[in-house]
Structure 1
């Protein structure tokens, strides 16, 4: 049985990335982004190998995409993981611009 990983996802705007933070502030993974006009470019997602398999990348992608929708922005998913996430979750396809 896999231990449940507890973490919060926060938008660390100064670093232009979403971070999955464990208790104590340790970063388990992050999704980088940059804003270019009305589009949010998402070039990469990184998850610490010790924390893979807990849905960290999926939660980072979902949070970033949900925030883009709220902000009325389009996304450019240059990260293969985010592009694949959108393919598997077509409710986000309208964000790709």
Structure 2
């Protein structure tokens, strides 16, 4: 079984993670070399399963390959980044 894959849906300006047919996402906007995370959402069916954390890890992994820095606007994103970033 493969792990769910976080994708950057640039048409919707959000990172997405589909699990069991449900989509968790992180809305963002970019200004210059900064990616602002505006809002992180997990459907009710995925809450408490660690999906939002997996979404954030995938987002960080993608951005680590780009010349961008991350600035969280969303409270969840800010707390997650504070706990998990080096």
TM-score normalised according to structure 1 size: 0.76
Structure 1: unaligned runs, 5 residues or longer: 1-5, 92-97
Deviations 1:13-70 (A, max 9, x none): 11111111135xx333111111110000101000001111111111111111222221
More contact order relative to length (CA 8 Å, sep ≥ 6): 2
Unaligned residue ranges in structure 2 (runs of 5+): none
Counterpart position of 1:12: 9
1:71 aligned counterpart, secondary structure: coil
Larger Rg: 1
TM-score (structure 2 length as normaliser):
0.85
Could you say which structure has the higher helix fraction?
Answer: 1
